[in-house]
């Protein structure tokens, strides 16, 4: 079998994987911890990484800056819940220097919104222009059931604060069989009524969460068909740099996105890699691939070794992911939890 060999790019040039895809989008988990325990993402009694294993904020800054030097123009901070990381705003402020130089076009984050009221204005002051908020329901009781102890009121207050600060908000909702699938039309109308796009996401089989994914999974093709019976959906060609495919909704004037790792492999246009809070790079969300960046990061104050390690990792990026829901053994396709991977 022929093996694709990627020639390492020159310093400062774009990162291109073996399949010709330019890598310009980096998602970085600043912590595996979260103040919620959404049942499709985490088990109730999660064992988190020792804090000593995490990269320092200074190391995360250096790592992100190296990727920016190598062509990354969009940087998303994730978790876990990124805003629970102590002093995380110092990292955001530091990274914002790349916005000022023009090297970075967008600095953003994905959050559960529980701490957003506190940090929204500061995020805007740092040059963050839009954020994603994960919220699966408008029902406070359902929200508490999904998150195990979350307070929907705090999230909605965070969204209010974000919009007041001038941040563009997009709502992410995981479609959950028998729980919120009938609520999707009202959630969409609420989001669009507040000038927020809504993106629906299929359950991904990542990590052991103590529950069967087959009991949670609903294909978005089914939900789209239901919505199309009530609303006029028109496909949009726009690309926001992520895996979502968008439609416009004539009746609401808003945008609706679909992220479908189970029913449609969207890998042909993948432009992103993920870094964990311990410095591991995953070039594919749906593979067990991993390369250690912490060792070269700490081995030398010079970035040559780190850059070479990044180039090797990009050269191993697979063509597509391996997500399946294992109906025979009811086990995840990928053993690591989403909170560890970086959203």
Residue 50 lies in a domain: yes
3 belongs to a structural domain: no
CATH number at residue 24: 3.20.20.70
Contact between 301 and 293 (Cβ < 8 Å): no
In angstroms, the CA 304 to CA 322 distance is 32
CA–CA dist 5, 7 (Å, integer): 6
Over 70: is that where the pLDDT of 67 sits? yes
On whether the CB atoms of residues 248 and 236 are closer than 8 A, the answer is yes
To which H or E segment does residue 63 belong?
helix 57-69
Q: Is residue 88 part of a domain?
A: yes
- What is the distance between the alpha carbons of residues 240 and 284, in angstroms, rounded to a whole number? 18
**Confidence label for 240 from pLDDT (cuts 50, 70 and 90):** low
How does pLDDT run across 139-190, given as a tens digit for each residue?
Answer: 999 999 999 999 999 999 999 999 999 999 999 999 999 999 999 999 999 9
Task: Please give the tally of structural domains in the chain.
Answer: 1
Q: Are strands 291-292 and 280-282 parallel, antiparallel or unpaired?
A: antiparallel
pLDDT of residue 33 exceeding 80 = yes
* 336: pLDDT strictly greater than 70: no
Q: Is 10 within the bounds of a domain?
A: no
Do the domain assignments include residue 98? yes
Query: Which region among 191-200, 287-296, 302-311 has the lowest average model confidence (pLDDT)?
Result: 287-296
Q: Is residue 2 part of a domain?
A: no
User: Domain limits at 124?
Assistant: 15-341
pLDDT over 60 at 89, yes or no: yes
* Among candidate residues 60, 76, 75, 165, the one with its CA nearest the CA of residue 123: 165
Quick one: average pLDDT of 48-69? 96
pLDDT at 8: 40
CA distance 184 to 138: 10
Give 241's Cβ-side CA count (13 Å radius). 17
Domain assignment present for residue 1? The answer is no
The reported pTM is: 0.86
β partners of residue 16? 22
Q: How confident is the model at residue 286 (pLDDT cuts 50, 70, 90)?
A: low
For residue 116, is it within any domain? yes
């Amino acid at each position: 079998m022929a093996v694709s060999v990627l020639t390492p790019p020159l310093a400062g040039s774009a990162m291109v994987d073996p399949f010709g895809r330019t890598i310009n989008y980096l998602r970085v988990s600043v912590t595996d911890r979260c103040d919620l325990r959404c049942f499709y993402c985490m088990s109730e009694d999660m064992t988190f990484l020792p804090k000593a294993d995490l990269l320092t904020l200074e190391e995360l800054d250096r790592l992100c800056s190296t990727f920016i030097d190598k062509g990354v123009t969009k940087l998303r901070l994730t978790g876990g819940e990124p805003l629970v990381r102590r002093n995380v705003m110092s990292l955001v402020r530091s990274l914002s220097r790349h916005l000022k130089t023009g090297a970075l076009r967008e600095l953003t984050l994905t959050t559960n919104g529980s701490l957003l009221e506190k940090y929204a204005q500061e995020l805007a002051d740092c040059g963050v222009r839009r954020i994603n908020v994960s919220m699966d329901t408008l029902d406070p009781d359902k929200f508490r059931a999904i998150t195990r102890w979350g307070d929907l009121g705090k999230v909605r207050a965070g969204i209010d604060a974000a919009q007041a600060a001038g941040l563009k908000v997009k709502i992410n909702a995981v479609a959950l069989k028998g729980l919120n699938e009938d609520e999707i039309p009202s959630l969409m109308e609420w989001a669009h009524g507040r000038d927020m796009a809504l993106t629906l996401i299929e359950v991904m089989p990542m990590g052991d969460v103590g529950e069967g994914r087959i009991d949670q999974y609903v294909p978005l093709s089914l939900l789209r068909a239901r919505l199309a019976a009530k609303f006029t959906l028109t496909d949009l060609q726009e690309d926001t740099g992520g895996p979502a495919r968008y439609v416009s909704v004539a009746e609401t004037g808003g945008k609706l996105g679909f992220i479908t790792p189970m029913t449609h492999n969207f890998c042909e246009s993948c432009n992103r890699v993920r870094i964990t809070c311990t410095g591991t790079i995953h070039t594919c969300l749906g593979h067990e691939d991993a390369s250690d960046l912490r060792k070269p990061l700490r081995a030398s104050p010079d970035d040559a070794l780190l850059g070479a390690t990044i180039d090797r990792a990009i050269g191993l990026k697979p063509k597509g992911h391996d997500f399946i829901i294992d109906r025979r053994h009811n086990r995840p396709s990928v053993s690591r939890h989403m909170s560890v991977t970086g959203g």
